[in-house]
Every structure is written in C-alpha cells, then in structure tokens.
A and B are shown apart, each in its own frame.
Chain A
Amino acid sequence: MVTPPTDERLARHIAERVPDPELPMLTLADLGVLREVSLTADGTVVATLTPTYSGCPAMSEMRAEVAARLKAAGYERVEVRTVLDPPWTTDWITDAGRRSLAEHGIAPPGPAPRSSTGPVPLVLSAARPAVPCPRCGSADTEETSRFGATSCKALWRCGACREPFEYVKEI
C-alpha cells in the first residue's frame, strides 16, 4: 500500500498551479481565487476557492481540476470548499499575474473602486481614465465595449498601434 503524501506545502503548490480555465496564462493563485489549502489531522486536503462573478461558469471546472491534480499526486481525500465572503476583487490578482496578463496582450486591472454608493459616475466614453496598450504601451487608447467574451473583460482599442485588446476590468 502506498502511503498518501502528508505535505501541506506540496498540496498548496499543486493547487496553486492549476490554470484558470478562461485566462489560462494565470494560475488560480495568480487570479486570487484560491483562498486556502490545508491538510487536516486525518490527511484530507481542504482547498478553498472563491468565485469571481456570481455567474462564473468556470467554478465547477476549477473545482474538478484542483481535486483531480491533488488526487493524481496521491492525496486520497480531497475536499474543495467554496467561500463567497469576502467577495473576490481584481485587487487579489497578484503582481506575477498582472505581468502574465500584459505579456499575453491583456491589460491588467487598475485598483478596484471602493464604493458603490452615491451618484452614478456619469462619464461617457471620453473622460474614462486611459488604459495603457499592453502591446505598445501607448496611452492613446479607447474603450470599445465595457463587456467582452467573458464577464471579467472589456474591449479596448489602441490608437497608436491600431490593435484591439482586452482589459480585465476592476471589480
């Protein structure tokens, strides 16, 4: 009989390296959705995930992938939990994750807005703060759509290199 591994750090390392299904250049750790990995006294690995958006269709896939990789590494008992609170924010995307996004042509998010109360910020397209182009670095960019192929991204266009690009919007 093979003894299951009892190394918590190894379990965390394995879970951290699972790629995000929609932004595969990021790991779950880069994205900030892997909240905790621990090993209980009876040898169960407990991994805790948090969803990015309420309607995120990738949650079950992340869960399955974390469980599958841990089991493949020999951990027999794996439990993946979900925490909804505190809600995920783009501020949890790590510096390494931000660099990786930019390297793949996706502009990383700025700081998340602090409050949702008070008047609606009625800035029509011109007054929005410019997002630098991830390809050429130009600040001559404009938003073409606040909504894109996935919940977390907006569509932008660069006026200097003329390339369209995606932008992970702050939340």
Chain B
Amino acid sequence: MSDDHVYLSLAEGHESGDERWAFGTGFEDPLYGVDTAVPDGVDTAELAASCLALGDDALVSTQRLAEWTTRAPELEEEVALANIGLDLLGQARLLYARCGQVDGTGRGEDAYAYFRDAEDFRPVRLAELPNGDFAFCVARLLVLSSWRLAHFHHLTASPDPVLAAIAAKGVKELTYHRQYAAEWVVRLGDGTEESHRRMRAALEQVGPYLDELFTAYDAQEEVAAVLRQVTQAAGLPFPAGQSLPGAGRDGDHTEHLALLLAELQSVARAHPEATW
C-alpha cells in the first residue's frame, strides 16, 4: 500500500482548491493504517463470521435505504434515510475489511459485497424485505437499529480491538438512527386515522421476524423495552405474531435477497476490473 493516491494525480495542475472535492477515488481500504494484529486467543473463524454477518445486515439495509432516494415522502426524510444508509455502509465496509484480514483469504471489501452470491450472504431476513411504505421503513429501522445497538454495545468489549472499535463508533450512529425511527413511529401511530392504520400494519409485518434476531444475538430484553416504550407513546399494540421458521444467519433467505443483490452487484460484475 502506498500513500500515493490517484486523486493526487487527478488534482495535479489544479491550484484552485477545487480538487479537494474529488471524492470517490482511491478509497479502497477503509482500515488503511489501522493496527490489524489479532490478539492471541481470539477465535478467528468466529470473529470472521461475526464481522461477515453484521456486515451483511448493514449492506443489505443500506441498499434498501438507498432505494428510498427520489421516492421518500419529503426531501428531509430522503436525506435522513440516505445519511443513515451512509453510516451503515461505512460500518459494512469496516466489517468486511476486518473479515478479509482474519478469515485467511485476504479478500478486500468488494469481494464480499459484489462477488458473493445470495447463498453465501448471512443477513437477517427482516433486512431483506422490500421497502413497502414509509411506515414499514421506520418500523423495520426501529427494530433493526435497537437490536444492532444492543449487539454493538456488547461488542465494544470484544477481545478483538478492531471489532471493538468499529462497534464503539457504530454505537453513536445507531443511537440516532433508533431515535429517528422511534420519533416517526410515534408521530405516525399518534397521527391521523390513516397513518395509525398503516403504522399498526407495519408493526404487524415486522413481528414474525423478531425471534430470528434474538436467536442471532439475544437482545430481547433491550429491544422489547424500546418497543414497549415507543408503541405505548404511539398508542399502538406491541408487535407480535407467529415467528417464522429458519434464519438468515443459517443461509435461509427470502426470495427478495437475490433480486436485491442482482441490482447491487450488476455494475461491479459487468466491469470487474473497473476502478472508480
């Protein structure tokens, strides 16, 4: 690796100062310059699996959030969802990069995001579901961000210092993702008859996917506390429902994952040697 940077050659001869806006070039390693040694006694296979699964949750969620761009009810919400997606994409990149360092393959982030097929992905199925309406978007975001926040809190004490640091950074981000979602659930649940009906339907749709999350990481207590608080404030019933058999972490997926990946991976697979 080198500190030389394609951006510098692009910027050569431009003394205007505008070259600082030339983003998106040469940002190939999100863990560049980080001490990546793995401490003795860390089970690297387990660490890699954790990083991969959490990276997959984040990447798939990011893609769903990005699909709201140009389709959100208001510009402010579109910007919010894109920002939340950007945070999660950042988390995915760090987690994939860490996975590649510890799983023995030395793969980079792109290999995980673009060149694995659906059967090799391990996201929870709630993240895969199509967007539906805005109520479903915030219901899912409330559940996933609350669950991931509890998981990341736990991981800040990980014996792997890199994963612990990724988690510590993510905690701050997930806290305001959760707050954004919670405020919308209250606003819609306690809003008009129509918004209440839709918010209630969205929570019913999320309910069957909760147990899968708690099998992957048991944060039932923390998530239930948030859902109780928020649904009470919103005048909505607590999301329940018959839980679905199977788990995304075991490779069971909805039919939506392959389609989502086909779109996400199409450009990278059409031009596998391209750099941008």
Q: What's the nearest-Cβ distance from chain B to residue A119, in Å? A: 5
Count of A-B residue pairs with CB < 8 Å: 143
Per-position binary interface string of chain A over residues 75-95, scored 1 when its CB falls under 8 Å from any chain B CB and 0 otherwise: 000111111111111000000
Q: Is the pair A60, B182 in contact by a Cβ cutoff of 8 Å?
A: no
Q: Report A-chain residues with C-beta under 8 Å of the C-beta of B25.
A: 60
How far is it, in angstroms, between the C-alpha of A64 and the C-alpha of B70 when the chains are bound?
Answer: 33
Contact check: which of A19, A120, A151 meets B87 at CB < 8 Å? Answer: A151
B90 at the interface (CB under 8 A from A): yes
Chain B residue with Cβ nearest A52: B169
- Taking the closest CB of chain B, its distance from the CB of A79, in whole angstroms, is 8
Q: Is the CB of A87 within 8 A of B24?
A: no
Interface size class of B (residues with CB under 8 A): 35 or more
Main secondary structure of the interface of A (DSSP, over half): loop
Of the candidates B34, B83, B170, B230, the one whose C-beta lies within 8 Å of that of A83 is B34
Asked if A82 contacts B32 (CB within 8 A), the reply is yes
CA distance A58 to B90 in the complex (A): 12
Task: Evaluate whether A122 and B183 lie within 8 angstroms (CB atoms) in the complex, with A54-B166, A145-B76 already known.
Answer: yes
A64 with B8: CB separation less than 8 A: yes
Q: Which residue in A55, A64, A122 is a CB contact (below 8 Å) of B90?
A: A55
Within the complex, the shortest CB–CB distance from A11 to chain B, in Å, comes to 14
Contact bitstring A59-75, B, C-beta under 8 A = 1, else 0: 11101110110000000
Q: Which of B99-153 contact A (CB under 8 A)?
A: 149, 153
Most buried by A among B20, B84, B176: B20
A58 to B7, CA, bound (A): 12
- Are the C-beta atoms of A81 and B34 separated by less than 8 Å? yes
Contact code string B150-172 (vs A, CB < 8 Å = 1, else 0): 00010000000110111011111
Cβ of B169 and Cβ of A151 under 8 Å apart?
no
| Whole-angstrom distance between the Cβ of B214 and the nearest chain A Cβ | 18
Q: Which residue of B lies closest to A148 (CB)?
A: B79
A-B contact pairs, 10 of them (CB 8 A): A19-B20, A21-B21, A21-B23, A53-B86, A60-B26, A61-B20, A80-B33, A82-B32, A84-B165, A171-B173
The residues of A with any CB-CB pair to B shorter than 8 Å are: 19, 21, 24, 49, 51, 53-61, 63-65, 67-68, 78-89, 113, 116-117, 119-122, 124, 144-149, 151, 155, 169, 171
